[in-house]
Structure 1
Amino acid sequence: MVYNTHRRVIVAPVNEVGILIDSLASKNDRLWPRSEWPAMRLDRPLNIGAAGGHGPVRYFVTAYEPGRRIEFQFTGPSGFTGHHSFTASSLSENSTLLRHELSLSPSGVAKLTWPLFFRPMHDALIEESLDLAENQFSSSTGAAHQRSLWTKILRAPFSACMTHRQSAR
């Protein structure tokens, strides 16, 4: 069993941070770092039952508390059994804990692909998502996750594709 969590204290009220969660997979997504990663896309607006994913990762919404929490259950890739979620919890009037949790029971080939490929990519993507959230409420844009060398190597084919698509516009 894999339990993976990322947390960030955001200096903003929970209702403002919750708006970021509510924007997921929309045209005005303010939480997902889609300029650097495959966009999160759903087949309908954010709500229970909405299905989609990002890149090869597929899921559907199993729980949604607007402004507070969203949970997705994995449907792919093969061997991914579990869920992931974003939660905003008030710490004080102007302080919120933004948390991403993943619970996964990998099977088959996922026992290899999770630690070698998906985990480093997941960790970088989520840290960059939390940077994006933090920087929206900070007077400086100082939060910037540094990708590991392994993550840079894994992303190289994707990065080349993104550069090609942007230059074609």
Structure 2
Amino acid sequence: MPVHNMHERVLSMGSEEAGALLDSLSAGTADRLWPYDNWPPMEFDRPLSAGAKGGHGPVRYTVAAYVPGVWIRFTFTGPRGFHGFHEYAVLPVDEERTVLRHTLSMRVSGLARLSWPLAYRWMHDALLEDSLDLAERPARQARWSPYVRLLRALVTRVH
């Protein structure tokens, strides 16, 4: 089953400033793009670079390609049944505006044919909107659906 999912936000900043957000990924408390306060942190086995292995929570991936300040692509290694990638791209509009886009493109197989539409998709969408909210200045407040709140409560009880 193919999945193509995109989230983007027009930011009121130049591409260099937006690129700095991208470059801050997985830098712990200095990360200005990943909403680590509300979601499992993005962690890697080494600094952000091609070949770095890591992920967040049960979602695992390898940095397939990285152009600092411009684009980063992660290839899925888990969970089982996720075959594809997700990426962030910094797309200049003009000197004062930039589009920050996250794209997920994958094929799901096996149990992921159920887990993606029933759970992962909803959590993914909420996490990405939180990430883009964080990129905006001032940041917006999270607006999770009742279903996302239920899924988060279930995950919290399991862990």
TM-score class, shorter-chain normalisation, is over 0.9
The residue number in structure 2 matching 1:121 is 123
Which whole-Å deviations, capped at 9, do the CAs of 1:91-125 have from their partners, x for residues lacking one? 00010000000001000000000000100000000
Structure 2: 5+ residue runs without aligned partners?
A: none
Q: Does 1:151 align with 2:144?
A: no
Secondary structure of 1:25's aligned partner: coil
More strand per residue: 2
Code of the residue aligned with 2:49 in structure 1: it is N
Write the mapping of 1:32-43 to structure 2, written as runs, cut at 5 A.
Answer: 32-43=34-45
The residue number in structure 1 matching 2:48 is 46
The residue number in structure 1 matching 2:18 is 17
Give, in angstroms, the shift of residue 161 of structure 1: 8.5
The residue number in structure 1 matching 2:76 is 74
Over 3 Å off, 4+ runs: 157-162
Percent of pairs identical after alignment? 50
The residue number in structure 1 matching 2:27 is 26
Secondary structure of 2:20's aligned partner: helix
Give, in angstroms, the shift of residue 157 of structure 1: 3.8
Give, in angstroms, the shift of residue 158 of structure 1: 4.4
Distance, in Å, in 1 between the alignment partners of 2:111 and 2:144 is 25
Distance, in Å, in 1 between the alignment partners of 2:31 and 2:156 is 21
Which whole-Å deviations, capped at 9, do the CAs of 1:48-67 have from their partners, x for residues lacking one? 00000000000000010000
Secondary structure of 1:118's aligned partner: helix
Distance, in Å, in 2 between the alignment partners of 1:158 and 1:23 is 27
Code of the residue aligned with 1:20 in structure 2: it is L
TM-score (norm 1): 0.89
Which whole-Å deviations, capped at 9, do the CAs of 1:18-54 have from their partners, x for residues lacking one? 0011010112111000000000000000000000000
Secondary structure of 1:46's aligned partner: coil
Q: Please tell me the root mean square deviation across aligned C-alpha atoms, in Å.
A: 1.4
The 3 A distance-change label for structure 1 pair 160 and 132 is farther
TM-score (norm 2): 0.95
Aligned length: 157
Structure 2 residue corresponding to 1:61, chosen from 49, 63, 67: 63
More displaced 10-residue stretch of structure 1: 120-129 or 153-162: 153-162
Code of the residue aligned with 1:131 in structure 2: it is D
Distance, in Å, in 1 between the alignment partners of 2:158 and 2:20 is 31
Distance, in Å, in 1 between the alignment partners of 2:115 and 2:38 is 21
